[in-house]
Amino acid sequence: MTDSAVAPVRVRFAPSPTGSLHIGGARTALFTWLFAHGQAAREGWPGQFLLRIEDTDRNRLVPGAVQGIFDALTWFGIDWDEGPDVSGPHAPYIQSERQSIHQEHVEQLIAAGHAYRCFCTLERLEQVRAERRANNLPPGYDRHCRDLDPAVVQANLEMGIPSVVRFAMPRSGETRFTDLLRGEIVYQNENLEDAVLLKADGFPTYHLANVVDDYLMGITHVTRGPEWIPSSPLHARLYEAFDWEPPLFAHMPLILAPGGGKLSKRHGATGMEEFRAQGYLPEAVMNYVALLGWSLDGATEIFSKDDLLASFNLERVSASP
């Protein structure tokens, strides 16, 4: 780590151990790593790349997937400055081991009026969904528990009635956030639901855990897939509720199959394990993945790892597939 007084650029790759590392995740890891150790370093900003395992969705965990992620990234040529196997000042780097931290921050949101406990049963939630479908309304929660009397909430808790914690999204107005690739994006709050932050099993959802952990770990830039754009208004509001400065966000473009459409195994290898098993060299895979949404000049197609470190620039990543 440099002795420079310049604040470091801190980024993270945060995969879920629900299977092998897919090409989309590998691209996110590569672009994030190149931004920290290539572009940021060239521009005089000490770059630090963190690996964090997001395993709070307990029902989807795959045994051995964490080690598989380590092995795939190492084969791919990506190392990390902090992570579960190398530790660091912000340990632990496995999200399920940070459960008490997440619960503490949920309680802060509840106390400040930014979140509330929801006791709705699965049956009631399904009824709400059915009614909204019948009335041609978008999916969402009807905020039934948002204004419960505190005495009722306490009584329900004392009786052990299962609950989740939801974020109290403003009922009107707009939520704005800026994407480094797409510019300003605006959502109408009336179209945003009160999302679950803490599940009934005590584990946080992606939304809460990411915001809390990114802030506490000092993450300055977040690169992630386009599927998270609709969640960004909630994340922006969470940062605001905690009175925290948010990181800068860049949502990668979709990876499409040749000719368009969703990429699948019928188009060939789609994961790092498959590329490795089929005998591809990691340098060739890195070259291939680097060109999925980024280009240097629109003409150069062959890059070594050192070439990518010397030339990658996040601003040259396309916002469209």
Confidence check: pLDDT of 227 > 50? yes
CB 191 within 8 A of CB 234: no
Q: Please give the pLDDT value at position 7.
A: 82
pTM for the full predicted model: 0.92
Mean pLDDT of the chain: 93
pLDDT-derived band at 260, boundaries 50, 70, 90:
low
pLDDT-derived band at 16, boundaries 50, 70, 90:
very high
Q: Please give the pLDDT value at position 241.
A: 99
CA 129, 135, 139, 140 torsion-angle sign:
negative
CA 241, 107, 234, 26 torsion-angle sign:
positive
Stretch 291-316: mean pLDDT: 95
Query: What residue spans of 217-321 are helical by DSSP H?
Result: 232-242, 272-277, 282-290, 305-311
CB 88 within 8 A of CB 81: yes
**pLDDT tens, residue by residue, 59-98:** 899 999 999 999 999 999 999 999 999 989 999 999 999 9
Stretch 199-228: mean pLDDT: 97
Give the distance from CA 6 to its chain's centroid: 26
Confidence check: pLDDT of 267 > 50? no
- Could you give all domains of the chain from N- to C-terminal order, each with its CATH number? 9-93+253-316 (3.40.50.620), 100-205 (3.90.800.10)
Stretch 180-208: mean pLDDT: 96
CA atoms within 13 A on the CB side of 117: 21
pLDDT-derived band at 1, boundaries 50, 70, 90:
very low
Confidence check: pLDDT of 266 > 80? no
Query: What residue spans of 112-254 are helical by DSSP H?
Result: 122-134, 150-158, 206-216, 232-242
Percentage of the chain beyond pLDDT 90 is 88
Let me know if 265 is a catalytic residue.
yes
Q: Please give the pLDDT value at position 298.
A: 86
CA–CA dist 233, 177 (Å, integer):
7
DSSP notation for 108-152: HHHHTTSEEEE---HHHHHHHHHHHHHTTPPS----TTTT--HHH
Confidence check: pLDDT of 4 > 50? no
Which residues lie across from 187 on neighbouring strands? 175
CB 175 within 8 A of CB 189: yes
Strand segments, DSSP code E, in the chain are 9-13, 47-51, 115-118, 164-167, 174-179, 183-188, 196-198, 221-224, 248-251
Using alpha carbons, select from 129, 154, 153 the residue that is nearest to residue 140.
129
Q: Please give the pLDDT value at position 54.
A: 96
CA–CA dist 29, 47 (Å, integer):
14
Confidence check: pLDDT of 258 > 90? no
Q: Please give the pLDDT value at position 87.
A: 86
Q: How many CB atoms lie within 10 A of CB 240?
A: 13
**pLDDT tens, residue by residue, 109-162:** 999 999 999 999 999 999 999 999 999 888 889 999 999 999 999 999 999 999
| Across 32-46, 188-202, 264-278, least confident range | 264-278
Stretch 97-111: mean pLDDT: 98
Which of these is catalytic: 199, 262, 265, 305?
265
CA–CA dist 267, 142 (Å, integer):
42
CB 25 within 8 A of CB 69: no
pLDDT-derived band at 55, boundaries 50, 70, 90:
very high
Q: Please give the pLDDT value at position 257.
A: 67
pLDDT-derived band at 320, boundaries 50, 70, 90:
confident
Confidence check: pLDDT of 232 > 80? yes
